[in-house]
Amino acid sequence: MNAILLGILALPLLAALALWALPIALGDRLAALYGAVVSGLVLVGSVLLWQRTEGWFAYSGVQQRLGDSMRPLAAVTDGPWIPPLGVRFHIGVDSISVPLIVLTALLTFLCCIYSLKITPRIGRMRSLIALLLVIEAGVIGAFSAMDLVLFFVCFEIVLIPMWLIIDIWGDDHDRAGRKRAATTFVLMTVFGSALMLLGFLLVYRQAGTFDLVQLTNSPVLGGHGVPLAAALLIAVGLAVKVPLWPLHIWLPDAHAKAPTVGSVILAGVLLKLGTYGLIRILVPVLPDATVTIAPYLAGFSTVAIIAGSLACLGQTDVKRLIAYSSVGHMGFIGLGIASLSEAGMQGALFANIAHGIITGLLFFLAGAIKDRHDTSDLRTIGRALYARLPRIGALLTFACLASLGLPGLAGFWGEMLILLGAYNPADSLPRATYLVFMVIAGLGTVLTAAYFLRLIRNLCQGDPADNPASAFAVDLSRIELITWSPLVVLTVLLGVWPGLLLAQWGNL
Amino acid sequence: MTLTWTDWQAIAVPLVLAIGAVAVLLIDAFWRSSTAQLRHTVVTLLTGAVILFGIVFVWAQRDDFKPAFCRPVTEGPAECSLVFEPLTAGLWGVLLIGGLGVVGLSAYRLLSADIPVGEYHFLLLSALVGATTLAGARDLATVVIGLEVVSLPSFALVALRRDRRGSEAAMKAFLVSVLSTAVMLFGISYLYGVTGSLHLTTIANRLNGLDANLERVAFAAGLFVIVGFGFKIAAVPFHAWLPDTYVGAPVEVTAFLAVVSKSAGVAGLLVLVVTGLAPDGSDLRLVIAILAAVTMTVGNLAALRQREAVRLLAWSSIGQVGFLLAPLAVGDAQAVVGYLAAYVIVTLGAFGAVAVVQRHRPSGLLSDYRGMVRSEPGLAVALIFFLVVLAGLPPGLAGLFTKFAAFQSVIDAHLGWLAIVMAINVMIGLAVYLRWVAELFLLPADDPFSVDIETPAVVMVSLFTAAAVVVSVLPSTLFALAT
Amino acid sequence: MPLVLPLLLAVVLFCLGVYGVLARRNAVTILMSLELMLNAVNLNLVAFDAWHLDGLATGQTLAVFVITLAAAEIGLGLAIVLLLFRGHGHVDADAARDLVEHEESPT
Amino acid sequence: MIATVWRVAGVGFSLLLILIAGLLYGVAPEQTSFLNSSVGDLTIGFAVRTDDLTVLLLAVVGVVATCVQVYSLSYLHERAASYHALVTLFTAAMATVVVADSLFLLLIGWEVMGACSYLLISHYWERRDARSGAVKAFLMTRLGDVGFLFGIFVLGVGAGTFRISELDPAQISPGVLTAGTLLLLVGVVGKSAQVPLQTWLPDAMPGPSPVSALIHAATMVAAGVFLIARLYDVFSASATTMTVLAVIACVTMLFAALCAMAAVEVKRVLAWSTVSQLAIMFSALSLGTQEGRHAALFHLVTHAAFKGLLFLCAGVLLHQVGSAAFVVLRRYTRRGKLRKTLRVTFVTMTIGLAALAGVPGFAGFFSKDTVLEAAWEHAHKDGSAIGWVVLASVGLTAAFTAFYCARLWLWVFFRTPALAGAMGAFEQDDPMADLEDPDTSKLKEAPWLMLGPLVLLAVAAIGLGYVDGLHLNWVIALGSTVLVLFGVLPAYSLWSRGADPRPVVLEREFGMDRAYHGLFVVPVRWLSKLSVLGDRDVIGAYVRAVGRSGTLASQGFRLLQTGNVQTYLTGAVVGVVALAILAGVIAR
């Protein structure tokens, strides 16, 4: 059991090193296949993990439930790592981390499959695949870390690979732009994580341990003073990653400049680290301080929803638009977490997964459109995609509808539960404020619909006469179909059967 | 008349080093018959052997207490001028490893460069003698002597190539350092005047019971002493000589300055702080904290736009010293030694890589490294790893955890503002090193650096890499150095 | 004799030395100014020693050490100055600026 | 190939619905729930139920859907696959709404219907009006649905369950009840295009006519009526909600009827009349009595029949003539061509219009009279103001309806003797007034595949009036007949004089579209510009400023490296002093 977890942690790393060891010519040819095999194995392993986990081991957002909500972790490996610093190597999974791990494995796998046929213009596939595997390992590590410092380390592992991916394989039309985007991303995230580390150290000073299980069992109480400072630092550090308005500024550029697989991983997986951290660390470890800052967190999330949607309405670049839509959606997740209610929490967790799937699909589609037109600028691409690329257009419409939270598709349940959580938040929170937030967020869903419809209208629809089909624009290729169909299926499946995930988290 | 006693094991290492130094000099002077090649090998081996002995000795004795030059006093325990204790063992270990690394590094290039082998190793060893003495010193006189014995050989080393640049670099380093010595001595004289003793412990005891005016004098004196060390370790604002000197000296001498001489300075300062010149909560610690903040910020910021590899390393070493000063300001010896060890290993590695490139590309610009990840994969990967460790990001876990320890000690000492400054500097430092890494990854590159690297270089760089990897995988070894 | 006078003298000497180091261009003069500073230190030490009636004569011992150091420093310093002269043809400390980073086109 | 599959599937599915309705007829009501999962102390899951209402609506949906699918077989050839697929999906969604017993299942069907309507309206996506109409429709209904969702929260959390069959008004505190029902009402208003969210329905007309018949006349827009009927005891338990509903309904029915009187395009007239007829149903519901509910449902059924019929007829006009604008149709009518060639269409459309106008003997007459009767009962028996208001406004609306039906019928199908073949009242907005008449010889009757459904629905438009059993309150019947006459006569006199006065306020539809544009669209555009600029020039500016300041500082430090050792020393000495002072200051 824990062998599986260790395996899916170690396998990608070792595989990446082995890949770099290969000679370049050979490596470039084999890379995608090799990556597909490895990440496929990881995916199998993560699914195996899923079967064995039951329940959510810790959620102390509601204090009185603390006692009976404790369930044992699965796949635990616990050993000393750096005794002088009190750092342990403690990993394990429960039902809130496993779905995210599976999502990570799935998206990486799909990216590798996608790279079998469709590769960035620069080539250098060997390094690209290897970096993807490293990122996968880091993210899985972060999702399974049960020690604050281990979490921090895994949180940092992904930075440099992602920076390289954006900087090397990014938009090959403006080199300066992609370098700036990459650097902004990595620097802001590093600063955030440094602040988060300070928060962890404050926690350590109070509690004397970095171990999440112990910290969850006996959280750091007290809503002001050092716990509050720690909570603030941790929240800000993670908010950079989420990203929460106004710390989102790195996101649009990073997503817009990154290569397709980079955007997919970035939006589908990396953003989840932030929200996962909030749920896994902030809420259980610093309950009282969290209650103190929750209203502000919720407020900023609500602003993020509105500001993100409005910004989307003003975008003229399809990748930027989708990136900004992530700002809005992550705002919803933040609101759900800040409601500190079970509905909100589960909504946030659900929305994490749903956003990963749907936005992954959206970025795949955006990448496909960009590859076909060699630009992602709506005005240059022209309109009437239905006429030129009917299948891709239809898929885009589907993805947009899913992303704007159409009931019956995956996007809905998360947002619904989050709004429900905001409707009756935890008793310790000001209800009236949250009602206001709920209403604003509800209007935000309308804005979301507005910008997605605008996208469909300006991109897919229009008069074919004045938007002639470009010569090389071939419709949905087989590899794209293979890559995207799992995402589509999952979107529908989770949409009609939310219990699939909700049952995992069950009654806390 | 009082009698003093000495445990000779305590001074065995400096003694052996000194003897080795003399031996090297004699061999080089009187054994003219052999070829330069042979002489060079012999000298190098001898030096290495001597240092190696020191390391082994330290390792063997690492956790027992051996005083030297002690004399009984009426009140309190005996005053000893030089003490070998676990802390000393850790510092000596770092210094000697650094020295060994420099020897290895110089084994690569000396033949071609017009540097007299014998003098070089003699000076190296004598500097090590000073460094070890400094790290073990427990009274101010010994501190001064040790410091001078570190410094004077290093100027000679800088000037050893006897060329225009070398002389200028030496002149700058010399003037600054001598001024700093003067300032420090001035401070010491006042400390002596206030307390009537030069033994650190005694001084610490007597500082407590001073009246206000004398306390102010003592503070000024302590400030002067710290400033003297500030020159030595190039803390801002006493850093300006460093970049010029680093650029002017031969690369392995630069490595020596960055590793041995700097570590010696840090060691001396650490001794002063932990043995009570700056007790907990004293203003002097505050001064060191301020120095740390300013130093790391200025160093990293200035490194941000450098175009020459050595200059960038010079400024970044200033930044690193800032990070070293942070735990030093709260007297956390363990964090300091751990950080120092990681810094020494990685800096040696980086200078090794730079030495290889600069031998073939004398201009030493960052652009010379363009595309190396494809043309010279091994060297590039090693260099990237060193840089990442310096930046303190995975996979460079050694750097990450030493920085982590620094953060931890600062947080535990309730120096929140310093912690924030450090966080900001982690970001700036990352920006600094990423510029270089980006150059390495940049493809396609017009005439990328590609040569068949000489075997000694390959050996040395891979050794450093191995060491760095080991301490990254098992960071606890770093902190085991000083327990 | 009160302690103040030698201390005052020492301070004056030290400041003179600092001034010389900072203001004089000729390297040799700078070395001399450094000597001045070290001698200020010696004066301090001896004065304090006398004041403390130190049985171990610590101050005087250190003073002797300092004199030795000064000798060594001057020796090395003059050697370096000589080297400087050979390289540059002058001994002006502030005129040796080869090592400044030159403004090329930024990479 | 795929198109054929979907065609078959579509027809098959709608037939299946009818079959199911038939099987479920008379079965004892029951509910089953499935796929439940508990969130906290609430249960999120699905449930279905069967009862008379379900069967009734299933039957209506099935029949209309079948007619529309069959009709579409020959009506529409381009993009048939996606069209039939979407229509089928829509039918499924409507069926879901009808059978749902869990509010969330209902919401799913509810919004999927909206999405299908959006996609079908923009079926001709190369046409600008279709695009904008689709977006408008989706956004307005979505806005209502947000309220709907919140209503579900309020009721569900208040009652502790999201099962419709378990919602017991007695268990819910009145405040919660009112809030919840009012919020649900918002969704209903959006879906059924009642004031103030009415403007999307007329603009949805660029969609294919069969779609208008199915979605925007018979089923989806009627879903609001169904919902209130489904939750009738919950709604009727809150007097406030019922009053609001009554006010909305009365305002809407008159508003829409007035707009219909000035519309110059057949489908637009029908769209507005749909709005006003829906309002009549709501008004019946707002009475809060069982008679009211019954009347509303009765009217819903008949309306589905004759309004579906009318839209399909309009579709024939569009299909054969190419436009449903009065002005174009007049060109054919001038020769009396339209009536003679499209004979079946003419007859069926006449039946439909008669039913809509409430001519005695047709279905609409009976259903409208039941509404009036219910209102009358409620009014003079329990003497409620609502009753009187409803009674009055329905009566007035009946007259208006008769007027615009007659106007439509006369102007489209009959040449005006007074005008002696001139275009008459529609000259001014005729783009091709100076052109000679189109070649009317090509004009011919539609294929029977399209006419079949018409006939079927026409029969229904007459017959459905009698299925409810004939119990006429003669007073009301007489009254409503008189009202119809009051409506028809002016229309006839105007037509015979060749005049068609259209007050500008009515043509502009009270300017609400423009008002909404100014109130919501424009500000949102500004805000979006603002937020983009804000990101770029405020937040982004700070980030860039940090980067630039770092670079500048770096340059500055490089300048400090003069290379002059004495400057370095000076700096150092200054530093010592500064350090001493700083430490002293902090130590204080």
Residue among D550, D568, D576 minimizing CB distance to B240: D568
- pLDDT for the residue numbered C103: 60
In which band, very low, low, confident or very high, does the pLDDT at A355 lie, cut at 50, 70 and 90? Answer: very high
**Residue A188's closest chain B neighbor by CA?**
B427
Other C-beta atoms within 10 Å of D444: how many? Answer: 9
Are A156 and B393 an interchain contact pair (Cβ–Cβ within 8 Å)?
yes
- pLDDT for the residue numbered D430: 53
Least confident segment among A26-35, B253-262, B443-452: B443-452
Segments of chain C scoring below 50 in pLDDT: 105-107
In which band, very low, low, confident or very high, does the pLDDT at A471 lie, cut at 50, 70 and 90? Answer: low
Minimum distance, in Å, between the CA of residue C1 and any CA atom of chain B? 16
Chains C and A physically touch (3 or more Cβ atom pairs below 8 Å): no
Please name the residues between 544 and 583 in chain D that touch chain A, using a CB distance below 8 Å: 547
CA atoms within 13 A on the CB side of A369: 30
Asked whether D71 and D450 are in contact (CB, 8 A), the reply is yes
Convert the pLDDT of each residue in A105-149 to its tens digit.
Answer: 999 999 999 999 888 888 888 899 999 999 999 999 999 999 999
Which among A357, A331, A334, A352 is positioned nearest to A504, based on CA atoms? A352
Residue where the block lists tokens 């310790």: A428
Convert the pLDDT of each residue in B27-81 to its tens digit.
Answer: 888 887 777 778 888 888 999 999 999 999 998 988 888 888 888 877 777 888 8
Q: Does residue D202 have a cis peptide bond before it, meaning omega lies within 30 degrees of 0?
A: no
- pLDDT for the residue numbered C107: 40
- pLDDT for the residue numbered D483: 92
Buried b (16+ CB within 10 A) or exposed e, B214-245: bbeebbbbbbbbbbbbbbbbbbbbbbbbbbbb
Q: Which helix (H) or strand (E) holds C39?
A: helix C27-52
Are B476 and A159 an interchain contact pair (Cβ–Cβ within 8 Å)?
no
Quote the CA–CA distance of D229 and D285 in Å, as a whole number. 7
- pLDDT for the residue numbered D418: 67
B401 interfacial to chain A (CB closer than 8 Å): yes
Asked whether B406 and B266 are in contact (CB, 8 A), the reply is no
Distances in Å between the Cα of A445 and the Cα atoms of A31, A310, B366 are 41, 11, 50
Least confident segment among A107-116, A291-300, B185-194, D34-43: D34-43
In which band, very low, low, confident or very high, does the pLDDT at A372 lie, cut at 50, 70 and 90? Answer: confident
Angle between helices A287-313 and A226-241 (to 10 degrees): 30
Which among A289, A150, A137 is positioned nearest to A222, based on CA atoms? A289
Say if residue D364's pLDDT is above 70.
yes
Neighboring chain B residues of A153 at a CB cutoff of 8 Å: 394, 397, 400
Quote the CA–CA distance of B336 and B135 in Å, as a whole number. 13
Domain count, chain A: 1
**Residue A194's closest chain B neighbor by CA?**
B423
- pLDDT for the residue numbered A76: 83
Residue where the block lists tokens 């990237």: B384
Helices (H) and strands (E) in chain B, counts: 20, 2
pLDDT mean over D142-159:
93
Residue among B163, B190, B245 minimizing CB distance to C87: B163
Share of chain D above pLDDT 90, in %: 49
Say if residue A27's pLDDT is above 80.
no
The DSSP secondary structure of B252-310, one letter per residue, reads: HHHHHIIIIIHHHHHHHHHHHIIIIIS-TT-HHHHHHHHHHHHHHHHHHHHHTT--BHH
Q: What is the DSSP letter of D49?
A: E
**All residues at 6 or more sequence positions from D526 whose CB lies less than 8 Å from its CB, including other chains:** none
Say if residue A104's pLDDT is above 60.
yes
Say if residue A493's pLDDT is above 90.
yes
Convert the pLDDT of each residue in B298-334 to its tens digit.
Answer: 999 999 888 889 999 999 999 999 999 999 999 889 9
pLDDT mean over D25-36:
86
> Which value, to the nearest 10 degrees, does the dihedral of the CA atoms of residues D89, D94, D98, D103 take?
90
Neighboring chain C residues of D569 at a CB cutoff of 8 Å: 21-22
- pLDDT for the residue numbered D155: 92
Convert the pLDDT of each residue in A307-332 to its tens digit.
Answer: 999 999 989 999 999 999 999 999 99
Which among C41, D570, C63 is positioned nearest to B184, based on CA atoms? C41
In which band, very low, low, confident or very high, does the pLDDT at B449 lie, cut at 50, 70 and 90? Answer: confident
D569 interfacial to chain C (CB closer than 8 Å): yes
Are A184 and D543 an interchain contact pair (Cβ–Cβ within 8 Å)?
yes
- pLDDT for the residue numbered A56: 63
Convert the pLDDT of each residue in D380-436 to its tens digit.
Answer: 888 788 889 999 999 999 999 999 999 999 888 888 776 655 555 665 555 555 555
Residue D6 has which token pair? 């979907």
Burial of A35 by CB count in 10 Å (0-12 exposed, 13-18 middle, 19+ buried)? buried
- pLDDT for the residue numbered B113: 64
- pLDDT for the residue numbered A62: 43
A464 interfacial to chain D (CB closer than 8 Å): yes
**Residue A508's closest chain D neighbor by CA?**
D40
Are B183 and D561 an interchain contact pair (Cβ–Cβ within 8 Å)?
no
Q: What is the DSSP letter of D100?
A: B
pLDDT mean over A63-74:
51
Say if residue B2's pLDDT is above 70.
no
Ramachandran category for residue B439: left, alpha or beta (phi over 0 → left; psi -120 to 50 → alpha): alpha
- State the best of C41, C65, C82, C103 to mutate against chain B, taking most chain B CBs within 10 Å: C41
Say if residue D300's pLDDT is above 90.
yes
Residue among D36, D40, D111 minimizing CB distance to A499: D36
Quote the CA–CA distance of A158 and A191 in Å, as a whole number. 14
Say if residue A60's pLDDT is above 50.
no
Angle at D24 between CA D22 and CA D27, to 5 degrees: 130
Quote the CA–CA distance of A86 and A163 in Å, as a whole number. 30
Quote the CA–CA distance of B224 and B215 in Å, as a whole number. 14
Domains of chain B, by residue range, sit at 281-483
Angle between helices B212-233 and D565-587 (to 10 degrees): 140
> Where does C4-93 sit in CATH, by number?
1.10.287.3510
Residue among C23, C25, C99 minimizing CB distance to D563: C99
Residue among B169, B182, B193 minimizing CB distance to C99: B169
**Residue B149's closest chain C neighbor by CA?**
C69
- pLDDT for the residue numbered B207: 85
In which band, very low, low, confident or very high, does the pLDDT at A475 lie, cut at 50, 70 and 90? Answer: confident
**Residue C40's closest chain B neighbor by CA?**
B186
Average pLDDT, chain B: 89
Say if residue D166's pLDDT is above 70.
yes
Q: Does residue D196 have a cis peptide bond before it, meaning omega lies within 30 degrees of 0?
A: yes
pLDDT mean over A53-77:
56
**Residue D536's closest chain A neighbor by CA?**
A249
Asked whether A482 and A363 are in contact (CB, 8 A), the reply is no
D118 interfacial to chain A (CB closer than 8 Å): yes
Distances in Å between the Cα of D526 and the Cα atoms of A311, D299, D375, D518 are 11, 44, 47, 11
Distances in Å between the Cα of B42 and the Cα atoms of B19, B35, B107, B386, D494 are 16, 11, 11, 30, 123
A41 interfacial to chain B (CB closer than 8 Å): no
- State the best of B143, B158, B183, B185 to mutate against chain C, taking most chain C CBs within 10 Å: B185
Phi, psi of B77 (to 5 degrees): -70, 175
Quote the CA–CA distance of B65 and B52 in Å, as a whole number. 21
Strand-pair partners of A377: A317
Residue among A384, A386, A453 minimizing CB distance to D135: A453
Are A164 and B441 an interchain contact pair (Cβ–Cβ within 8 Å)?
yes
Say if residue A61's pLDDT is above 50.
no
A461 interfacial to chain D (CB closer than 8 Å): yes
Say if residue A280's pLDDT is above 50.
yes
Quote the CA–CA distance of B413 and B419 in Å, as a whole number. 10
Distances in Å between the Cα of D23 and the Cα atoms of B55, B358, D69 are 94, 90, 22
| Interface predicted TM-score (ipTM) | 0.90
In which band, very low, low, confident or very high, does the pLDDT at B280 lie, cut at 50, 70 and 90? Answer: confident
Average pLDDT, chain A: 89
pLDDT mean over B154-166:
88
Quote the CA–CA distance of B183 and B230 in Å, as a whole number. 11
Quote the CA–CA distance of A113 and A35 in Å, as a whole number. 8
3-class DSSP assignment, residue D265: strand
Long-range contacts of the stretch A221-224 (C-beta < 8 A, 24+): A221/A287, A221/A288, A222/A288, A222/A289, A223/A288, A223/A289, A223/A291, A223/A292, A224/A289, A224/A292
The DSSP secondary structure of D157-195, one letter per residue, reads: HHHT--BGGG--GGGS-HHHHHHHHHHHHHHHHHHTT-T
Asked whether D423 and D433 are in contact (CB, 8 A), the reply is yes
Say if residue D538's pLDDT is above 60.
yes
In which band, very low, low, confident or very high, does the pLDDT at A66 lie, cut at 50, 70 and 90? Answer: very low
Asked whether A215 and A285 are in contact (CB, 8 A), the reply is yes
**Residue A407's closest chain D neighbor by CA?**
D108
Convert the pLDDT of each residue in D232-244 to its tens digit.
Answer: 999 999 999 999 9
In which band, very low, low, confident or very high, does the pLDDT at D328 lie, cut at 50, 70 and 90? Answer: confident
Minimum distance, in Å, between the CA of residue B133 and any CA atom of chain D? 27
The DSSP secondary structure of D64-87, one letter per residue, reads: HHHHHHHHHHHH--TTHHHHHHHH
Say if residue B399's pLDDT is above 50.
yes
Share of chain B above pLDDT 90, in %: 51
In which band, very low, low, confident or very high, does the pLDDT at B338 lie, cut at 50, 70 and 90? Answer: very high
Other C-beta atoms within 10 Å of B114: how many? Answer: 11
- pLDDT for the residue numbered D177: 93
SS3 of A243-310: the string is CCCCHHHHHHHHHHHCCHHHHHHHHHHHHHHHHHHHHHHHHHHCHHHHHHHHHHHHHHHHHHHHHHHH
Asked whether A108 and A39 are in contact (CB, 8 A), the reply is yes
